[in-house]
């Protein structure tokens, strides 16, 4: 069960009741998403990869759809096509996502947000001229990426390792790495030593960046071409 909570920037997050874990920072869900995923990952990928082909992005944990929404708005603003693939084991029910206040916070029509949730699962659908979405209801633990996957950017937004250690392993990062193009960029709010080591073991080059709010650090990782085995 999840509980709707207001964060410090006025945007909602969800709390896993009885666990105390939140979907976002309680110091600001929208601001954290911009700090951890938009600026160091999406915008960096826009700069790094050529404009000719759509930017292919993978998200671990669709959840509230906030990262997808901000990415869709950025794709429109910068007129860069983005193909967004997200996995989610437990999609939110209508009565939960309909209460999220992201449209009001971002001053956009409610339908622009709801269409991300209402989009069908298991297929790629155009949402706007610049943004297509493929939501997959699968368990990341045993998910096998299609052999033609070639993501340029990854938002790794699983619950923290103390709650879900199985989602932060070198094995998962290794499989993910095989689905990335050379130089692909991954960011995550997490900066645990074990996670950094798991990413390095999977062949990523890892750097620490200033974290959001009370978090001193976060991680950004780059796919290195010589770690590719495909
Ligand atoms: C920290 S929340 C972040 C969600 C999202 N990025 C957002 O902005 O709302 C983690 C998400 O991962 C999902 N999740 C947990 N375990 C999973 C698994 N094994 N496979 C796929 N998704 C999972 C959760 O249901 C939750 O939506």
Q: Note the pLDDT tens digit of each residue in 164-223.
A: 999 999 999 999 999 999 999 999 999 999 999 999 999 999 999 999 999 999 999 999
Residue 12 lies in a domain: no
Separation of CA 159 and ligand 1 centre (Å): 6
Residue 75 lies in a domain: yes
Residue 123 lies in a domain: yes
Residue 3 lies in a domain: no
Residue 78 lies in a domain: yes
The pTM for the full model equals 0.97
Q: Residue 7 above 80 pLDDT?
A: yes
Domains in the chain, number: 1
According to DSSP, the residues that pair with 124 across neighbouring strands are 134
Query: With contact defined as beta carbons under 8 Å apart, do 45 and 56 qualify?
Result: no
Residues within a 6 A CB radius of ligand 1: 23, 61-64, 66-67, 87-90, 139-141, 157-159, 164, 167
Residue 7 lies in a domain: no
Q: For ligand 1, what atom is nearest to the CA of residue 166?
A: 19
* Residue 183 domain boundaries: 27-227
| pLDDT (tens digit per residue) in 147-179 | 998 999 999 999 999 999 999 999 999 999 999
* Cα dist from 209 to 113, 139, 150, 188, 198, whole Å: 30, 29, 25, 10, 17
CA 21 from centre of chain:
17
Report the alpha-carbon distance of residue 190 to residue 106 in Å, rounded: 26
Domain of 57: which CATH number? 3.40.50.150
Ligand 1: residue whose CA is nearest its atom 17: 89
Residue 173 lies in a domain: yes
Residue 208 lies in a domain: yes
pLDDT interval class at 229 (50, 70, 90): very low
């Amino acid at each position: 069960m999840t509980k709707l909570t207001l964060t410090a920037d006025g945007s909602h997050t969800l709390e896993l009741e009885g666990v105390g874990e939140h979907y976002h920072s309680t110091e600001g869900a929208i601001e954290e998403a911009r700090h951890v995923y938009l600026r160091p990952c999406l915008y960096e990928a826009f700069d790094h990869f050529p404009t000719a082909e759509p930017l292919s992005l993978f998200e671990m944990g669709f959840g509230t759809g906030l990262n997808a929404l901000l990415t869709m708005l950025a794709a429109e603003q910068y007129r860069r096509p983005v193909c967004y693939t997200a996995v989610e084991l437990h999609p939110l029910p209508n009565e939960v996502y309909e209460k999220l206040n992201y449209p009001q916070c971002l001053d956009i029509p409610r339908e622009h947000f709801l269409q991300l949730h209402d989009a069908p699962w298991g297929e790629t659908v155009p949402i706007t001229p610049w943004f297509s979405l493929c939501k997959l209801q699968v368990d990341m633990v045993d998910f096998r990426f299609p052999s033609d996957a070639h993501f340029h950017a990854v938002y790794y937004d699983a619950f923290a390792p103390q709650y879900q250690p199985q989602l932060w392993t070198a094995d998962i990062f290794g499989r993910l790495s095989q689905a990335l193009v050379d130089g692909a960029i991954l960011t995550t709010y997490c900066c645990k030593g074990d996670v950094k080591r798991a990413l390095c073991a999977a062949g990523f080059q890892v750097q620490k960046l200033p974290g959001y709010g009370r978090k001193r650090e976060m991680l950004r990782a780059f796919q290195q071409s010589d770690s590719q085995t495909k």
